[in-house]
Structure 1
């Protein structure tokens, strides 16, 4: 049976290779790929991720090959990303406790994001959260994204995330006990050495945030807790970690390997890799 993957993209910019790496792997295997964004707006690649002449400040070299830039442009110029699922239209967000008739609204919310959402994602085999700076804005602390990840987790499905998309895993947690779903797990993600000192930018705004608003490495170290571990693998060209059901990729160079390992989990039963 053909595998089906849901790919979640930021509306404030994704890093081109972090989409193309896994997507090209899924396409080669004939997977059915569906895209989603927070509000149903088309996602676009961050301009530096299309530019082979862009020098990444922390690494001091280009991180975009001409071949990858070409692949990203082909997707950008196609209609493939034109009509993503809108998470805002798919299911509700948790009501404020201050709202009128809060209990009835909470019951309705729980019906939508419980059994009903589980049924809606039954056709999917995996989810992937693509990285870049955009997820900092509209994915990392997005309650709907968290609920979607929790639904995949409840259903025992594969959950992939790259770069700053891994923040979604750290922040996704059950409302009652509020422990991160990656507590006790092994993950990788954007390490402190790779963070910009300045120039963290986004699409649809001229705002330069300077450095990232939070060091993802520190959050992942805390979220995994004493029984898990964050693996930055700084100094190693590739950092991809599989601790089932999670497949995490550190940053741009790890994108193709992330796709490969998601496929290995789906097709070959891989449960552990990279630690």
Structure 2
């Protein structure tokens, strides 16, 4: 199995003067779910090279077994530091795509045409597409086989309006993920704040929040196995 993981290159949290990026747990946990299952994992980002890690995801209170393992794993660190430039990636080289969240994707991946086109190519090839937390924002403008929005009529989840309000960023983010997906015709579903929750609809797998990152990756592997 060859699995592509796409992370943000954006590091500014709106006009707050604070930094953002990808959420480390949402990269690390799926990375090891895939690696431990025998998959080859490639990390890509819009700019290539070292993507920005959300500094809050590196705080002690947000450390997990997966993040600690990732930070002490030189091979994983090299994979991250030398992320492939997104425009150089071909759908033909991978069996599935998985996008970790963090707030960064709301500013770049959600509107990045290389990302939107690539996800669409995976969808049209019936290859699994996975996204967790804020990364389902990348699905909003993707067109499916019928040239309608990919998420229209699909069961999806992602970081909820309630969770965004709880972290105090409702008025900072460029749009609310839950609202955007509903506007595109998705059947948005969710669990409680911060609780693991995953939706699988065909080859589309989405997770609600950081706690959902490993379960979403496991669900994507099941979709792959069923193919």
TM-score by length of 2: 0.85
Structure of greater Rg:
1
Change (3 A) 1:9 1:265: same
Superposed, 1:1-275 pairs within 5 Å as 3-12=1-10, 13-53=21-61, 64-74=62-72, 78-88=77-87, 90=88, 120-173=90-143, 179-196=148-165, 211-223=172-184, 225=185, 228-234=186-192, 237-268=195-226
Change (3 A) 1:29 1:143: same
> How far is 1:164 from its partner?
1.3
Preserved CA contact (<8 Å) 1:38 1:86 = yes
Give the unaligned 5+ runs of structure 1.
54-63, 92-119, 201-208, 270-275
User: In 1, Cα distance between the equivalents of 2:110 and 2:129?
Assistant: 15
Paired residue for 2:16?
none
> How far is 1:268 from its partner?
3.6
Deviation by residue 1:170-222 (Cα, 9 ceiling, x = unmatched): 12126x95x3111111000110110047765xxxxxxxx95322111111122
Give the unaligned 5+ runs of structure 2.
11-20
Deviation by residue 1:100-157 (Cα, 9 ceiling, x = unmatched): xxxxxxxxxxxxxxxxxxxx42231100111001111210111110110111111110
Change (3 A) 1:196 1:41: farther
Preserved CA contact (<8 Å) 2:194 2:209 = no
User: In 1, Cα distance between the equivalents of 2:78 and 2:194?
Assistant: 36
Change (3 A) 1:14 1:236: closer
RMSD between aligned alpha carbons?
Answer: 2.4
Preserved CA contact (<8 Å) 1:11 1:41 = no
| Number of equivalenced pairs | 215
User: In 1, Cα distance between the equivalents of 2:151 and 2:175?
Assistant: 18
